[in-house]
Amino acid sequence: MCNKRICKICKEEKFIDEFYPKKGGYFTHSCKLCLSKKQKSYIKDGEYLSVYQRERSLRENYKITLAEYDELLYSQDGKCAICGIHSSELNRSLAVDHDHRTGKIRGLLCNSCNQGLGYFKDKISNLEDALYYLILHK
């Protein structure tokens, strides 16, 4: 019996103990390392989500695919659309900011900016009043 196989994801030849065993003496097609990376692809609220869970969440909540999210992230250079912090500096993925009335996606925001807009109830007048207040008390 061959003690090596090729991983379907990384395409590397690895020893059989680097794959998970399956019923009937078979092994998974992808190595443990690649499967681990695939399962721990996205972080939400400090917890890892699988690619499947992340895709389902985006589809159900925002009607977009993971590819569309990634395209939006790329178009923003991986940064929050408001404060500009890079997603690599955060503990969670950038949030999909959307208009709650229309469902239209506006961009990707860090948690702080996303919550800030929520606290101001997405009202421009509230944000203008806050800006005036900050300028007044500078």
- Going from N- to C-terminal start, the domains of the chain cover 4-38, 63-136
Question: Which ranges of 6-123 does DSSP label H, i.e. alpha helix?
Answer: 32-39, 51-62, 66-75, 111-119
Q: Which CATH number fits domain 63-136: 3.40.1800.10, 1.20.1250.20, 3.30.70.2190, 3.40.250.10?
A: 3.40.1800.10
pLDDT single digits (tens) 81-135 = 999 999 888 888 899 999 888 989 999 999 999 999 999 998 999 999 999 999 9
CA dihedral 127, 128, 129, 134 (to 10 degrees): 90
DSSP state of 45: T
Residue 53: its pLDDT value, please? 77
pLDDT single digits (tens) 47-71 = 556 677 788 888 999 999 888 998 9
- Distance between CA 110 and CA 88 in Å, rounded? 11
Question: Token pair of 68, please?
Answer: 């569309």
Tell me the HSE value of 30 on the side-chain side, using a 13 A CA sphere.
Answer: 10
Listed residue (53, 87, 46) closest to 70, CA to CA? 87
Give first-to-last CA distance, the chain, whole Å.
75
